[in-house]
DNA sequence: TAGTGGTCTAGACCACAGC
DNA sequence: CTGTGGTCTAGACCACTAG
């Protein structure tokens, strides 16, 4: 039985962490980011134990709750699992790409797939009934309808159709060609909060097929999505169609239950 | 009619909440559940403002952080949005069904669709290479392979194929007919923590088509999934095939960023 | 029994929104 | 300015796991 300073079997991992107390970025967030980077970067292996809360709080001069908040964030994202009496362990199988509000554009860019976009159409038009319902505007209200094709590695990946309420009818085709839609909205001060998405499969129609370089009737992945801002107002409704041979969704879900604090 | 206190425009909603301090269920969790029930039950409408933290903490005799933890949980699930200087507002468009570890079985039961299951096969077999990799066992290791068809409203919905590591090779066909797989695992003390899932679309093969009452080549929604327990060990690998005309995935995602605390 | 996370408290100060 | 949530502290006590 080892006395004071010797370490046990699954020894806590060594991390060099540096917090900037003068930064506007919250301390718990800085900490979470750095630990996440260590995990994603491979410098902390799956199965490794992270330092316990008390020790880490002490080492960093933080309160224990602050460390817990950071660790809790990693728990929510499924990067680590925590158990009483045991510790905080790095999960295996983390794919990193939970279904956030990052657009496909962001995803691909991250994967160095060099995505590009062609804007097929951009016009202000009266909202069809289903779009109006999703955007919570009166049927026939002016909305911006956008149609784009996304390419990756030079070949078409999917067809993106978006509708935006009147507030953003001034988005230009140029902007849309060069930036992701959510990126543009964020730049305009829109704070995206929640997305509801429905993912299904279908046989593609003739026109859509042509646009994405498929045969009519080919299998495609379809999504329908409404995104809300922090006022709870719908800011985008989208219907996308992806080539099944070139795209899939990947997501990570972590359970939440008592004993599985969110922070 | 309440007191003659003059309220502002979007007045905080009235909730009758009761906490049981002697319960083993954490206070923040009880609170979150009750508020969620009020929202889901429609007694609190989208756009309504919830009581502010300080007032609610005072009313319930809780510390503010405890109330924050409850509200934070609702924020994570996309049910409410919170803004400094404004308050906590119930989001519209909440579908309730974020991609947790609930099985399709659970989902359908919740929707009163009366699901049923037929176990087509259940055998212990050497793990194929891909399954072994996902379950992190040596290729050829003994695993339990299950094949089931899920029915809803009397018609086949999808084909479920699961592989479990040696620990649970004793699950019986009877059990699997009567209970969801995750339900059975939980009953055995397995604590599911994280799932990685990949959703795609494909044209169904001849054998699978027959099993789900489709024509060969019909469009199906496919998923591939690994579920991990709280030790970070894989406890299930699954490949499912759903009829595209009868099933889709629906999920809610909430953004996380500083200023959007997880709790 | 010792080590770990889980819950909860009672404060403090700050940042942002809206009047 | 006031009201709201966002962050942080420094404790306390409890519950679970492992040796």
- CA atoms of A253 and A221, how far apart (whole Å): 20
B193 touches chain A (CB under 8 A): yes
Q: Would you list the DSSP string of B124-135?
A: EEEPPHHHHHHH
Over pLDDT 90: what percentage of chain A? Answer: 57
- Give yes or no: residues B231 and B115 share one domain: yes
Average pLDDT over residues A37-60: 91
For D7, nearest residue by CA–C1' is: A26
DSSP B14: P
* Candidate from B94, B194, B262 with C-beta closest to A72: B262
Can you name the residues that pair with B119 across neighbouring β-strands?
Answer: B148
Q: How far is the CA of A87 from the C1' of C3 (A)?
A: 9
**Are B201 and A219 inside 8 Å of each other by CB?**
yes
pLDDT tens per residue across span B193-241: 888 888 899 999 999 999 999 999 999 999 999 999 988 889 999 999 9
Residues A83 and A115 both lie in one domain: no
| pLDDT tens, residue by residue, A155-169 | 899 999 999 999 999
Do residues A66 and A184 both lie within one domain? no
State whether residue A196 sits within 8 Å of chain B by CB: yes
Residue A46 burial by Cβ neighbours in a 10 Å radius (0-12, 13-18, 19+): middle
**CA-based nearest residue in chain B for residue A196:** B252
Considering the domain architecture, whether residues B111 and B232 belong to the same structural domain is answered as yes
- State which of B94, B115, B134 marks the end of a domain: B94
High-pLDDT (> 70) share of chain B, %: 84
Q: Which of A25, A198, A219 sits opposite B219 (nearest CB)?
A: A219
Question: Do A232 and B81 form a contact (C-beta atoms < 8 A)?
Answer: yes
**Inter-chain touch B263–A263, beta carbons under 8 Å:** yes
Contact A195 B252 (CB under 8 A): yes
The nucleotide closest to A52 (CA, C1' atoms): C4
> For residue B182, is it within any domain?
yes
Q: In what order do the strands lie in the sheet with A80-83?
A: A49-50, A87-90, A80-83
In this prediction the pTM is: 0.88
**Residue A166's domain spans which residues?**
104-243
- Put simply, whether A84 touches B (Cβ < 8 Å) is no
The number of domains in chain A is: 2
B232: chain A residues, CB-CB within 8 Å: 46-47, 81, 89-93
Q: What pLDDT band is residue B75 in, cutting at 50, 70 and 90?
A: very high
The pLDDT confidence band at residue B263, using thresholds 50, 70 and 90, is very low
Q: Are strands B234-243 and B155-164 parallel, antiparallel or unpaired?
A: antiparallel
Partner residues linked to B237 by β-bridges: B163, B226
- State whether B109 and B234 are in the same domain: yes
Task: Name the residue facing A92 among B77, B136, B195 (closest C-beta).
Answer: B136
Using one digit for the tens of pLDDT, what is the confidence trace for A21-36? 999 999 999 999 999 9
- Mean pLDDT for A120-125 is 96
Residues A185 and A210 in one domain: yes
Mean pLDDT estimate for chain B: 86
Does the structure show a pLDDT above 70 at A102? no
Per-residue buried b or exposed e for B169-197, using 16+ beta carbons within 10 Å of the residue's own CB? eebeeeebeebbbbebbeeeebbbbbbbb
Residues in contact with A193: Cβ distance below 8 Å, sequence separation at least 6, in sequence order:
A228, A229, A230, A232, B78, B81, B91, B254, B255, B260
List chain D nucleotides near protein: any atom < 7 Å from a Cβ.
2-12, 15-19
The footprint of strand C (CB < 7 Å) covers A 12, 24, 50, 52-55, 64-65, 68, 82-88, 258-261; B 9, 26-29, 61-66, 69, 83-86
Q: For residue B110, is pLDDT > 80?
A: no
Q: What is the pLDDT of residue B53?
A: 96
pLDDT at site A46: 87
Band of the pLDDT at A216, cuts 50, 70, 90? very high
Q: Taking 70 as the threshold, does the pLDDT of residue A190 lie above it?
A: yes
Residues A71 and A24 in one domain: yes
Q: Is A193 helix (H, G, I), strand (E, B) or coil?
A: strand
Question: Residue A233 domain-assigned?
Answer: yes
pLDDT confidence of A262, banded at 50, 70, 90? very low
pLDDT (0 to 100) of residue A251: 81
- Residue pair A228/B93 in contact (Cβ under 8 Å)? The answer is yes
A113 — pLDDT class (breaks 50, 70, 90): low
pLDDT at residue number A96: 53
Confidence band for B8, pLDDT divided at 50, 70 and 90:
very low
B110 and B65 share a domain?
Answer: no
Cβ separation of A250 and B101 shorter than 8 Å?
Answer: no
Shared-domain flag, residues B1 and B109: no
> Tokens in use for B196?
């990685």
Residues B28, B145, single domain; the answer is no
Domain with residue B39: its CATH number is 1.10.10.10
The pLDDT tens digits of the residues spanning B115-157 come to 788 999 999 999 999 999 999 999 999 999 999 998 888 889 9
Which residues in chain B are closer than 8 Å to A230, comparing Cβ atoms?
81, 83
**Nearest nt (C1') from A83 Cα:** C5
Q: Are residues B157 and B65 in the same domain?
A: no
- For residue A126, the cross-strand partners are A142
Residue A238 belongs to some domain of the structure: yes
A201, A252, A254: residue with CB nearest B201: A201
**Which runs of consecutive H residues, i.e. helices, occur in B17-172?**
27-40, 53-60, 64-76, 104-110, 129-135
Q: Where residue A184 sits, what CATH number does that domain have?
A: 3.40.1410.10
Asked if residue A258 belongs to a domain, the reply is no
Q: Report the pLDDT averaged over residues A54-79.
A: 95
Q: Is residue A48's pLDDT more than 80? A: yes
Q: Which residues of B touch A92 (CB under 8 A)?
A: 136, 228, 232-234
Q: Name residue, tokens 């797939």.
A: A113
Average pLDDT rounded to a whole number, residues A226-239: 91
Q: Would you say residue B26 lies in a domain?
A: yes
Check the CA dihedral A64-A65-A71-A75 and report its sign.
positive
| Residues in chain A within 8 Å Cβ distance of B78 | 193-194, 196
Nearest to A251 among B91, B99, B244 (CB): B99
Does pLDDT of B50 surpass 90?
A: yes
**How does residue A6 score in pLDDT terms, banded at 50, 70 and 90?**
very low
pLDDT 10s digits, B159-181: 999 999 999 999 999 999 888 89
Which tokens hold the place of A81? 């699992």
Is A233 found in the same domain as A109?
yes
Residue A119 and residue A122: Cα distance in Å, rounded?
7
With an 8 Å Cβ cutoff, is A194 touching chain B?
yes
B63 touches chain A (CB under 8 A): no
* Helix and strand numbers, DSSP H then E, in chain A: 8, 10
């Amino acid at each position: 039985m080892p006395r004071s300073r010797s370490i046990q079997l699954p020894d806590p991992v060594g991390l060099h962490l540096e917090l900037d107390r003068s930064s506007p970025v919250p301390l718990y967030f800085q900490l979470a980011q750095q630990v996440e980077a260590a995990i994603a970067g491979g410098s902390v292996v799956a199965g490794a134990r992270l330092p316990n809360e008390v020790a880490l709080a002490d080492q960093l001069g933080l309160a224990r709750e602050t460390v817990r908040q950071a660790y809790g964030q990693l728990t929510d994202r499924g990067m680590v699992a925590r158990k009483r009496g045991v510790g905080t362990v790095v999960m295996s199988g983390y794919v990193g790409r939970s279904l956030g509000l990052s657009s496909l554009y962001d995803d691909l860019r991250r994967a160095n797939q060099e995505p590009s976009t062609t804007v097929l159409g951009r016009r202000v038009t009266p909202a069809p009934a289903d779009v109006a319902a999703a955007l919570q505007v009166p049927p026939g209200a002016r909305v911006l309808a956008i149609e784009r094709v996304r390419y990756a590695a030079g070949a078409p990946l999917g067809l993106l159709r978006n509708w935006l309420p009147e507030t953003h009818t001034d988005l230009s085709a140029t902007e849309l060609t060069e930036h992701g839609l959510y990126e543009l909205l964020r730049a305009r001060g829109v704070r995206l909060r929640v997305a509801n998405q429905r993912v299904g499969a279908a046989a593609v129609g003739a026109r859509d097929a042509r646009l994405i370089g498929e045969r009519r009737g080919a299998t495609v992945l379809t999504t329908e999505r409404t995104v809300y801002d922090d006022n709870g107002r719908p800011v985008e409704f989208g219907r996308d169609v992806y080539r099944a041979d070139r795209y899939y969704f990947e997501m990570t879900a972590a359970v939440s239950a008592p004993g599985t604090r969110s922070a």
